[in-house]
Amino acid sequence: MSLLRLCAFSTCLKSSLVVNNTVRSVFDGNHCLSCLRVRGNFEKRVTDTTWVCRRRYSALILKKEEGKNRLRQQCQLVDVLEARIQQLQSDVALGVKHSNVQFVKAPQTGRGSASSKGSSKNVSGDKGKVPKTGPAKSSGKEDSSAPKAHNRRWIEKLQIEKWDKSRKQVRLQKKLQDQETEESPGSSMLPSTSKKTISTTTKKNKVKLKQEQGKAKAHPAKRNAPRPAVAVQDMPSRDDELAEVEELDQQVNQWASPNVEKLLEDKEGNRYEDAQLSLRCFLEASVFIGEADRAQRCLNNHHSNITKRKLLSMSAYNIMLRVWAKKGTVSQIGRLFAMIEEAGLKPNLSSYAAALECMGRHPSTSPHVINRCLLQMEENGLSVDDLFKHTVFRRDERDMVLSAVCVIRPDYQPSTTTDQQICPSPLVQDFYKEREAAQYPKLAFSVEDLRQRFSQQLAMEGSSTVTIDSVEALKPVTPHMAKMRELLASQREHWQKSLLKALRESKMVMSHGGSKSWKINLHPYLCILDDKEYVDAMLQCLANLPPSGETLLFMAKELGSRVQNKFCIRQKVHSQMVDKLAQIYGLYVELLAADTPTSNMLPREHWAELEADLSAGPSLLCETTPWPNLLLIQLGTFLVDVMVRELKVPSDLLTPAPDHKFISALYHMYTFRGNRQIGFIKPHPILTQLKLDAMETSLTFDSYMIPMLCPPVPWTSPKFGAYLLTPTKLMRSPDGAVQHQLMLEKCHERELHAVLDSLNQLGNCAWRINQPLLDTVVSIFNDKGDEKLDVPPPVSEAPEVPRFRDRGEAYNSAEKAALKREALRAKKRFAEMHSLRMDALYKLSIAHYLRQEVFWFPHNMDFRGRTYPCPPYFNHLGSDVTRAILVFAEGKPLGPHGLDWLKIHLVNLTGLKKRSSLDGRLAYANSIMDDILDSADHPLTGKKWWMNADEPWQTLACCMEIANATRSPDPAQFVSHFPVHQDGSCNGLQHYAALGRDVIGATSVNLMPCDEPQDVYSGVAQQVEEFRARDAQNGLKIAQVLEGYISRKVVKQTVMTVVYGVTRYGGRLQIEKRLKEIDDFPEEYIWEASLYLVQQVFSGLKEMFTGTREIQDWLTESARLIAKSGSTVEWVTPLGLPIVQPYHRIRTQTLKSNIQLLNLQISHDASQKPDTVKQKNAFPPNFIHSLDSTHMMLTSLYCYRAGLTFVSVHDCFWTHAVTVDTMNKICREQFVALHSQPIMQDLSKFLLQKYCSKDPSSLRRTKAYKPSVFVC
């Protein structure tokens, strides 16, 4: 290929590199003069100036010596390019044998003149001089205008390189063919073996090629000898060669790793990497604000560029198809379909829906065109029924599509039937098939009441924020507080105006960003909301900023996420789905209300049936591209920068000052976290003091942080459920990780039914506030708190930060170091106290806001299947205080044994009598009834017996419930709202003991019948004490120091977390924390004692649980091998939930912003290689967590079938006192049913099928596949 074929030469030069792909993509012989002119101008610039021509860098005037060096480098670059161009000239005849190409003599300017003369040959009609294969030989006759010597060397080097590459390709193809013939059809090599074979071959070829090159250098005549001529008609074209190489590359990749799934692709092939997501989000935002032309230009630019086209998928084209379909622009629809075909993509249901919508908006559209569209759909394997069933419609799109279809099929009506498929898991077959005896519970509310609650929740989510009164509002307001509140309110008005002005100016600058209006920037994201909403979000962020400051990254994520949530809500409102949601929800609550007939349908099934019956109009599902984490940070950083620049406070606001000036209310600084320097945003001391003195009594939360005022929308798919408008993920994941959501969407619907129904059951439990207990907690909170009772004190009680005092003598180095350490400890303590105080303030204020309400907690789960309430601050997974405040909204009579269960539950909360039987605990409770009644009647002035319990606030709440029940006329008829807990005995060890059929371990965790309950923590503590006594007798000093200090509490956390992957290092820290809580333990021995105890705990567990360690070792080794092969560890729970571990190698990415450069460390990018250490260490605990969640979900489903109220805190199950016996029976039955399945065999089979290319039956049995471990 000659220079005349390079029509994009200037772009290549700016990129500092001309690559084969670029040359191939711009291969066109009709731009000769243009390219010569571009090249001549560039050469002139190189010789006349020392300015740097490089993309993405501004031109800088260099120093004299640097300019000479840079000019010399540029000249060398031009020489290399000239040599490459001359080499490509010899190839052009192979690809364009019949092209009439004339080479025009280039202008002789500077260095390029000689090269131009040397390359001006006419090859269009010279058929007798066809270049031979291999490196081109010298003519043997040099012209006076021949290139320089170093140019010839470059030409020869590149020719040899090209010839070597072609030989490598031939050898690689031959190797692949030989490998296919040698291997039998039924067995293929392992992935690692195949890779090793290819790499070995490559090394051998490199050695041979180096030897041949050495011989060629030693014998120039032999090197320049002519190679055998090849006929032109037998030579493949360049495009054919490239296609063949790409095909071979694909074959090698498939052969090397046949089981590697594309985790970042959805079912339709859309990629979900950051670049693709950013582009689609930009198109959606541009379209939403009405800039369709800007979005189309962006799409056209990416489509016309071969490299950028890789970022486009069908979702990107469909965004623009929807836009032009709304406008009825048939010509644009046709162009987009042509672009889709040119990109090698296949239109999907959404594409055809947009085309039919456009035709439906034009009544004059020819029936022939509509029919051709429908026929093309059928040819692609798509049906009209699928189109109406799976396409997401907005506004009147469905009606327009239906009108177009009815032109060809006048009697057509979309199918509204729903197939109620059953979950294939054998564990739930009875639950779904045998429904005659089911007694699904109802809510104690009428249909009308639930509809009113829906309206309240809809209004709250529509406003996206909720402002509530703080519990500190109960304090009296002093004159100084009133003055400070007025000052803060006036400053807030000034800040609002400044931020509004700055935001509008920034948007104006971005909107006139130059001629490249197709470039992606933040302008659309700053227009998707009203300006006031951005300002309110920034002021809310300012109000939540702690006195010690916050990291820039955290603030940016918070602001970006807040904008994204508001945008999603606005999109749903814009799609006009709210009215339809209200209609379906109004019918849905008839299933739950107490004044309607009972039904044998589950909430998910009923909602799906209603949605199918009312399918007309917009879809409830709003398909919005998830914003990548980089976009959230970029947008949030921009808003934080605006805050730092525009927020000012007067310097004399609080104290008189000689000069009046405005200073920044926020300032940007750098600090260290470990060995990393991070950006930090800190408030000015004037602002901090103003907020502390004002003590404002209002708190603003995002609406999703408050529990719902109506029953949640049932989960019907991985994309739809929980809140009414607020977007919610079914599976929680790290910021920016999308592989979990994509994996769920790829599952068949019926495989997730059991998981979805369990989440719906947990979310339908209604709650209310225990008002007497809340008042007691608030009174202590406003009276300087009490750390012993887990009520944090205010920051005014924090120790004063020491400072250097002026004194006569100077501080020595030791005094300075000690003072600095003390200051750091004081600052750390102040920050901790502020964080704990604000956390308690949020929880108590939300509880106070809901004290007269009934509310619900929508649920979702993490990637292991463990369930969590969606509201982050106030829920039943919280601390002892939060759990004590919550009671069931529905009350049930205690019945004959309910009061006994309340008393047993009380003893369990105290932490006493762990080794006693249930009868023994009940007898103990009856013996301390005086203390129980005194605690209930005089919690703060009586004996205060409840304060010494392990869970003091729950103990107090239980004392109050027992007192009310015993004083009622008939305790059996007393209606109790109090939840009674049944906690697992070290649930992780229970699962390990059941998997390994470990009798000794099973006995210690109560899986075997015993006269008295076993306590594994006490057992381990007793065993450690025996080890300690033996060592103390042998004279070990630390063992003697620990005499009398080893208790159940010291070892409990370590024993509990060993099965979840805690290391000896982590276990030592846990024990160290417990030892520090012992007042009289000698501080100088804490480190040595914790190290000694953690060793003894691990040794004791190893003796008690023999099978546990074997299973852990097998899981760890399996994960290590899987991660080493380049795959992440995946498995499927017995309920059918797919799980993938999101641990990948950290990828560092630098994000530029106006305020600073952000170095982001991304550990969840599925395109990176797996982190082997994290994958292998996390697999055993994550696998046990998935079994734990499976058991909980099974218990919740069968409790729902029996009509029980059931919630859980992982392995701790809650229900009414009257139904504890029933729940216990279901819990045990489901545990047995779960471990009656071949769990380890199924896991082994799954791993072999997914990660091994050989038939699993052909593998030899090794130690890892011991029958004693896997046979159940």
Q: What are the residue numbers of the active site?
A: 983, 1052, 1211
DSSP category for residue 1081: S
Closest Cα to residue 988, out of 1010, 1020, 1016? 1016
Q: Which residues contact 1098 (CB under 8 A, 6 or more apart)?
A: 1058, 1064, 1067
- Torsion sign across C-alpha atoms 389, 390, 396, 399: negative
In the sheet where 766-769 sits, what is the strand order? 855-856, 766-769, 886-888
The four Cα atoms 223, 224, 227, 230 give a dihedral, to 10 degrees, of: 130
Phi, psi of 762 (to 5 degrees): -65, -40
Nearest in space to 765 (alpha carbons), one of 440, 1205, 449: 1205
What DSSP string runs through 866-888? Answer: -EEES-SSSSTTS-HHHHHHEEE
Report which residue type is found at 319.
I
Closest CA to 325 of 276, 395, 221: 395
Angle (nearest 5°) at CA 203 between 197 and 204: 90
Q: Distance (Å, rounded) from C-alpha 1234 to C-alpha 1215?
A: 22
Q: What does the alpha-carbon distance between residue 1204 and residue 1222 come to, in Å, rounded to a whole number?
A: 8
Orientation angle between helical segments 1064-1076 and 1086-1104, nearest 10 degrees: 120
Could you give the CA distance from residue 14 to residue 41 in angstroms, rounded to a whole number? 13
Give the other-Cβ count within 10 Å of 497's Cβ: 11
User: Dihedral sign, CA of 466, 470, 474, 477?
Assistant: negative
List of long-range contacts for 123-129, beta carbons under 8 Å, 24+ apart: 123/89, 123/92, 123/93, 124/99, 124/100
DSSP class per residue in 429-464 = HHHHH--TT------SS-HHHHHHHHHHHHHHHHH-
The answer to whether 418 touches 609, Cβ cutoff 8 Å, is: yes
For the four alpha carbons of 1128, 1131, 1137 and 1141, in that order, the dihedral sign comes to negative
SS3 category, 908 = helix
Q: Which amino acid is at 113?
A: S
Q: Are 1208 and 763 in contact (CB under 8 A)?
A: no
Residue 415 to residue 417: CA distance in whole angstroms = 6
Rounded Cα gap, residues 677 and 675, in angstroms: 7
Whether 1013 and 915 have beta carbons less than 8 Å apart is answered as yes
What is the rounded CA–CA span in Å between residue 743 and residue 729? 13
Under 8 Å between Cβ of 1230 and 1198 = yes
Give the DSSP letter string of 925-975: HHHTHHHHHHHHH-TTTS--GGGGSSSHHHHHHHHHHHHHHHTSS-GGG-E
How many CA atoms within 13 Å lie on the side-chain side of 593? Answer: 18
Residue located via tokens 């006009």: 576
Q: How far apart are CA 1160 and CA 184, in angstroms?
A: 48
The answer to whether 304 and 654 have CB atoms below 8 angstroms apart is: no
